[in-house]
Structure 1
Amino acid sequence: MSRIPLRPLARILKARARGENPDAIEAENRARRHEAMADKQRHRAEGRLLVLGLAFFCAFGVIGMRMGTLASSVPEEPRASAVGNPIIGQRSDIVDRNGRILATNLQTHSLYAHPRDMLDPANAAKQLAQIFPELDEAELLKDFQGDRRFLWIRRQISPEQMQAVHDIGSPALLFGPREMRLYPNGPVASHILGGASYGREGVASAEVIGVAGVERQFDSYLRDPANEGAPLQLSLDLTVQAAAEQVLAGGMSIMNAKGAASVLMDIHTGEIISMVSLPDFDPNNRPRVLTTGDQSDSPLFNRAVQGVYELGSVFKIFTTAQAMELGLVNANTMIDTQGPLTWGRFRIRDFHDYGPELSTTDVIVESSNIGTARIAMQIGAERQRAFLGSLGFLEPTPLEMVEAPTGRPLLPPNWSEISTMTISYGHGLSTSPVHLAAGYASLLNGGTRVTPTLLRRTTTEQGPRVVSEAVSAASRSMLRQVVERGTASFAEVEGYAVGGKTGTADKPRAAGGGYYDDKVISTFASVFPANDPQYVLVVTLDEPSENSGAEPRRTAGWTAVPIAAEMIRRTAPLLGLRPQVDRPQPVGVTLTSN
């Protein structure tokens, strides 16, 4: 912008030539300069006012939009944000194979105190002790009057307890939101679920972690937010599990047993439909672990998985099956049963005198120790060990539980010929009921290896072959005859062709070696229907005694077999198995053609 001079020389000279006053020219130019400056200031002010007006318009527009959003939203309590990783309180549900809840979450509250804000510590301690009888009034008062700034009182409380604490009226008693693990079915499947407890805790949330069973085995999955709350589906059937527990508990009481276990397994997939261990517990109020004595006496001990026992004559079918697979015998081969069978200082006897010889089938039906031992001698220690290993008897079960690795089979330190003989009829090798169920399933489903699992399977995976289909069918026939005319006659269930084998093993002494004379482990391992196998059921009783007669009866035929029969009678319809009933022949006049 060019600046106009106040006294331009040309105009001054002309003005003087005309006799005019040159100062008028200066005054005129000064006025024009002032007018231009005023116009410039005015335009600048107008621009600033326009910008300021636009800014106010945008601000009020944003405020108006936010007010409209808040007015249309659902009201909720404000939540304080915290720096760092928040405690993940959400935990996925656990459901059975049909989607029914086994474990879920419940919103509750915790109770804590700020002792320094306590107005009347004595009254607060007194009333809290009345609401929570397990709290000590004197101890509470001591804590309230001490130097502590924060004090946990209860990790979780019920709505009724929360209201009662409200009524105390103390500003120092505060509540925090809390999520607790709930098992709505109580003790049902307690050993499988295990239980949960609190990990990291805060006043606004708490971390729920698994402490046993599948809760701990799948803890990372159940707590993973990436799963978006998808439940963990087990292979269990809640209805069958409840029925099995009821039957086994009643049978355990009738048979005066110290403990009991049962395993119901799908013979083709290895899915465990029901697994029971008694005595049991309520995972909502999980008992403490024993610090002294025998851990197997604790209700937390899972007899089906952790308990390893000499299971007795239920092992005989594996011996005959291997011998048939090797071509050493067939179902009709006659076996020398003359006894006793002597090996060094050991003598093997039968429960009854079965005569000089029995067929292979009758060795199983009559449960001859001598006959089974002679067959095992033909097999040999090396081949016997390899066969039992192929059925999973030499390693812990791969079951999806943290307790499974503790159920390691007890093997003889030296697998000698005498070990081969005794193991053939279930002594000298200790395994769990789950091992036995998986072994029977592998042998009787057509001869392919089955891996037990607690997870729902939608497909059947063909395992490696352990015996031929012909040997599998012959083994099922032998087990069916054990029920029809052998030691398991009480296992006959109308409409269901049950096959199985009894086993009664003397219980080893805890100290000093040897076996008890009046304490046994009785077992019945069964398959049903035997003509079209679908399920394997194993029932084991610890120290049973049937006392209805003049003398106590402890054998499996009198103790475990009736319980298994009742369990099959109760659960088979729940599993969708229709009873096969022979149709009566028509009576009366029959129309015939000429």
Structure 2
Amino acid sequence: MIRTPLRPLARVLRAREKGENPDIIEAENRRQRNEANHDAMRDRAEGRLLVLGAMFFCAFVVIGARMGTLANTVPEEPRATAVGNPIIGQRSDIVDRNGRILATNLETHSLYAHPQDMIDPESAARQLASIFPELEEEDLIKRFTGTRKFVWVRKQLSPEQMQQVHDIGSPGLLFGPREMRLYPNGPVAAHILGGASYGREGVSSAEVIGVAGVERHFDAYLRDPANEGAPLQLSLDLTVQAASEQVLAGGMSIMNAKGAASVLMDVHTGEIISMVSLPDFDPNNRPRVLTDGDQSDSPLFNRAVQGVYELGSVFKIFTVAQGMELGLINQNTMIDTKGPLQWGRFRIRDFHNYGPSLSATDVIVKSSNIGTARVALMIGAERQRGFLRSLGFLEATPVEMVEAPTGAPLLPRNWSEISTMTISYGHGLSSSPLHLAAGYASLLNGGTQVTPTLIKQDGPQNGPRVVSESVSTRARNMLRQVVVRGTASFGEVEGYAVGGKTGTADKPKPRGGYYDDKVISTFASVFPADDPQYVLIVTLDEPSENSGDKPRRTAGWTAVPVAAEMIRRVAPLLGLRPDVEVLEPVGVTLTSNG
């Protein structure tokens, strides 16, 4: 047995010496210790209660503040959040320069199936095939009766189709919410917008991604949630675009052309107001890419951007303008036009015999190949190449479209003297109508370089100077004379001083050489010529005007009338007031009462 010593030992020993009972001392000591422990525990408990009370007070304050905040906010439907990387289905709208919708999103549904839940797969397949003619009944039955537990049936449904599927009553047919890209104007501006499709897909949402045009180029911007749904505003004018397409389609039909393109550009800002390529397509139902044959025959091919052609005599104004800029000639300088011009085994001829010489202005007005070639010889290959580079003809246009890099110009391997002469009148170098629009805008706006853009601008670009203002003015006067008394006489539009240059180039064969009866006809115009605001390029592929005894294919008979009608239609839409001559009243006598 272990005995526990009594406490406190010193008092116990003194008590024993005195004959007192030590148990009383130990009991008293135990009582005192218990009272001390009780007081310590009470203090600790009171401290804990104080801390807990403070915590409850703070919690009630936070909860009360949060309840007050929620009471002052607009109620919203709660949304469930998913774990992982969600599919972003939102995509910003695309609008024209006036805020009108070009592309937007529409809430729709997809249709998928759980075959294991179907009561009668064959009947469901038969009824689905009757609702959707593009689906084959046999294929649906095979998919519904196989081992798969999930089957996509259709990615998009209209409300009417959704109701028809709902009426089938099969528990294995299910709907999933999603967004689809909608182009409310159909084929209007189809090549510019391009189109969209689905990327990652789920039963409750789908990722909408751009596949071509500005939809593809600005895909990251349109899908960025940081933009908070702000639309992408283009430089296009929807009304002008629709009118341009209508006129060009009519001209293409009348002139029996295989295809057509037009570009309308602001000469100061570089904004593309309208850009048309025909034939076109509906981006709501984008066709498939051709797997064989010539891709330029596809309606997806953008002739204004991707189509590079020898554009012919529309290049002559660049040569004469550079000659004036270098001080080699002026508008009245007489140029030797005796022909043919011989260079080795090559002979350069004019369409007509214009006599021994023409002024520089008449070289443009009458479109003399020989006269232009002689000016080019004075300029030289290096200076010609540098000038065309400053106008953007030696590289693809930087316009904001994914197709732009594919429209790089075709340049001669060896920029020889004969290349210098042929390029001066638009042969030996292939470029797109958009290149030509940018070149004419840079030359005629006062002489400063502009870059074509599809984004609305705040003001003029004020790029590097390519020619002086005086040369730019003289070039405009020359182009005006082409319409007044030259090859573009059908381009006159009453009230608008139109200036321009025609160009007719034989179409090259795929394996070399040129066709005898196929041309690319182009009219490059500026209006008003005295105060240029817009450049318009119209190009027709293989046109033929057949109202006379013989087919007429030159630009003066084909592209020019189409461009004139387009200017007549769109100039008022652009806010340009016609300059109408005010005539004095005839047969009226003015009197006064005084």
> TM-score if structure 1 supplies the norm length?
0.89
The residue aligned with 1:312 is 312
Distance (whole Å) between structure 2 residues aligned to residue 227 and residue 78 of structure 1: 21
Matches within 5 A, 1:336-347: 336-347=336-347
**Farther-moved stretch of structure 1 (293-302 vs 161-170):** 161-170
- Root mean square deviation of aligned Cα: 3.5
> How far has the Cα of 1:586 moved from its partner?
3.6
Shift in Å, 1:81: 2.8
Q: Percent sequence identity over matched residues?
A: 80
Cα displacement string for residues 389-416 of structure 1 (whole angstroms, at most 9, x for unaligned residues): 1111011001111100100101111111
- Name the CA distance, whole Å, in 2 between partners of 1:78 and 1:324: 69
- Pair 463,77 (structure 1): closer, same or farther in 2 beyond 3 Å: closer
Greater displacement, 112-121 / 240-249: 112-121
Given the two structures, how large is their TM-score scaled by the length of structure 2?
Answer: 0.89
Offset of residue 139 of structure 1: 1.4
Question: CA 1:355–1:73 in structure 2 vs 1: closer, same or farther (change >3 Å)?
Answer: closer
CA drift of 1:328 comes to 0.9
Letter in 2 for 1:524: F
1: CA distance between counterparts of 2:75 and 2:108? Answer: 23
Corresponding position of 1:277: 277
Aligned residue identity for 1:188: V
Partner letter of residue 116 of structure 2? Answer: R
1:473-518 per-residue CA deviation (whole Å, 9 max, x = no partner) reads: 000000000000000000000000000000000001111x111000
Q: CA deviation at 1:75?
A: 7.6
Q: Are 1:567 and 2:562 an aligned pair?
A: no
Shift of 1:164: 1.2
Q: Does 1:152 align with 2:149?
A: no
Counterpart AA for 1:527: V
Q: Any residues of structure 2 matched to 1:238-249 within 5 Å, and which? A: 238-249=238-249
2:115–2:150 CA contact under 8 A, matched in 1:
yes
Name the structure 2 match of 1:376: 376
- What residue identity is the alignment partner of 1:518? D
Tell me, in whole angstroms, the C-alpha distance in 2 between the residues paired with 1:81 and 1:509.
59
| Alignment match, 1:81 | 82
The AA in structure 2 aligned to 1:538 is I
Letter in 1 for 2:82: S
2:311 maps to amino acid:
L
Q: List structure 1 runs of 4+ shifted beyond 6 angstroms.
A: 64-73
1:192-213 CA distance string (max 9 Å, x none): 0000000011111111100000
- Give the Cα–Cα distance (whole angstroms) in 2 for the partners of residues 340 and 201 of structure 1: 66
Please name the residue that 1:540 is paired with.
Answer: 539
Question: Would the aligned equivalents of 2:270 and 2:461 in 1 still touch at CA under 8 Å?
Answer: no
User: What CA deviation, in whole Å up to 9, does each residue of 1:193-242 have, x standing for no partner?
Assistant: 00000001111111110000000000000000111111111110000000
Q: Quick one: structure 1 residues 357 and 161, their matched pair in 2 at CA, closer, same or farther if it must change by over 3 Å?
A: same
Larger mean CA deviation between 98-107 and 134-143 belongs to 134-143
Aligned to 1:329: 329
The amino acid across from 2:257 in the alignment is A
SS, match of residue 573 in structure 1: helix
Aligned-partner SS, 1:143? helix
Counterpart CA distance in 2 for 1:462 and 1:431 is 24
Equivalent position of 1:293 in the other structure = 293
Query: How far apart in 2 are the matches of 1:123 and 1:68?
Result: 57
SS of corresponding position for 1:135: coil
Distance 2:97 2:68 in 1: 48
Write the distance in 2 (CA, Å) between the matches of 1:152 and 1:463: 53
Partner residue, 2:556: 557
Which residue identity is paired with 1:561? V
* Counterpart-to-counterpart distance in 1, 2:68 and 2:472: 75
Deviations 1:7-57 (A, max 9, x none): xxxxxxxxxxxxxxxxxx9xxx9xx99xx9xx99xx99x99xx99x999x9
68-77 vs 489-498, which moves further: 68-77
Spell out the pairing of 1:94-113 with structure 2 (5 A cutoff). Answer: 94-113=94-113
Instruction: Quote how far apart the aligned CAs of 1:341 are.
Output: 1.0
Distance 1:75 1:240, change over 3 A: closer
Say if 2:330 and 2:360, in contact at 8 Å, map to a contact too: yes
CA drift at 1:147:
1.2
**Can you list the C-alpha shifts for 1:366-399, whole angstroms capped at 9, x where unaligned?**
0111111111111111111111111110110011
Q: 2 CA distance for matches of 1:68 and 1:117?
A: 48
Separation of aligned partners in 1, 2:185 and 2:433: 24
Q: What is the CA-CA distance between 1:459 and the residue it aligns to?
A: 2.2
Q: Structure 1 residues 69, 435: closer, same or farther in 2, change over 3 A? A: closer
Comparing 139-148 and 546-555, the one that deviates more: 139-148
1:404 equivalent in alignment to 2:404? yes
In the alignment, the residues of structure 1 paired with residue 460 and residue 415 of structure 2 have an alpha-carbon distance, to the nearest angstrom, of: 35
The alpha carbon displacement at 1:461 in A equals: 2.3
Instruction: Using the TM superposition, give the Cα deviation of residue 79 of structure 1 relative to its aligned residue in structure 2, in angstroms.
Output: 3.3
Which residue of structure 2 lines up, in the alignment, with residue 183 of structure 1?
183
The 2-side partners of 1:496 and 1:467 are apart by 25
In structure 2, what residue type is equivalent to 1:526? S
**Deviation at residue 76 of structure 1 after TM alignment:** 4.1
**CA-to-partner distance for each residue in 1:554-582, whole Å, 9 max, x for gaps?**
00000000000000000000000000001
Q: Distance in 2 between matches of 1:86 and 1:165?
A: 28
May I ask how many residue pairs the two structures share in their alignment?
582
Helix, strand or coil for the counterpart of 1:572? helix
Q: CA deviation at 1:82?
A: 3.0
Deviation of 1:427 after TM superposition, in Å, equals: 0.6
Tell me the residue number matched to 2:432.
432
Displacement, 1:175? 1.0
Q: Which amino acid aligns with 1:563?
A: V
TM-superposed CA distance for 1:141, in Å, is: 1.4
CA offsets 1:246-280 (integer angstroms, 9 cap, x no match): 00000000000000000000001111000000000
Q: Helix, strand or coil for the counterpart of 2:365?
A: helix
SS at match of 1:519: strand
Instruction: Return 222-231 or 140-149, whichever deviates more.
Output: 140-149
Matches within 5 A, 1:227-266: 227-266=227-266
Q: 1:120 to 1:324 in 2, by over 3 A?
A: same
Alpha-carbon distance between aligned partners in 1 of 2:373 and 2:226, rounded to the nearest angstrom: 56
Q: What secondary structure, in the 3-state scheme, does the structure 1 residue paired with 2:573 have?
A: coil
Gap change, CA 1:536 and 1:345, over 3 Å in 2: same
